[in-house]
Amino acid sequence: MPLHPVMESTLDELLTRWRYHESLRSQRAPVPVLARSRRSLDQIRTEAQRLRQVLYPNGSEMESVAVAAHCDTLDTMVFFQYHEARPGRNGIEYPCPCGETVG
């Protein structure tokens, strides 16, 4: 099964940032430069993990799914876990990776 284009581009960006960070480490870059690079790497890693959970939840994550909905922007099903619930104007809402809310 091919990856969703958003997941694929996120993984590409993760790999790019990881390679950049490793390059800085091998060049013994100054600590402030390494810290900025690490924050950037951690940010995309967190985004990739969330996207994977929303698009491709594993077995135990599927047990925690509160809402499954079709995202028109991503043109695919997305799966939201209970812990992602946020109070919204119309009750409980879930943040979608596309930037919209579902609820």
Tens-digit pLDDT profile for residues 5-48: 999 999 999 999 999 999 999 999 999 999 999 999 999 999 99
Instruction: Give the C-alpha separation, 72 to 77, whole Å.
Output: 9
Q: Is the dihedral of CA 75, 81, 84, 89 positive or negative?
A: positive
pLDDT at position 2, please? 86
Delimit the domains of the chain by residue range. Answer: 5-55, 59-102
Tokens of 42: 């951690």
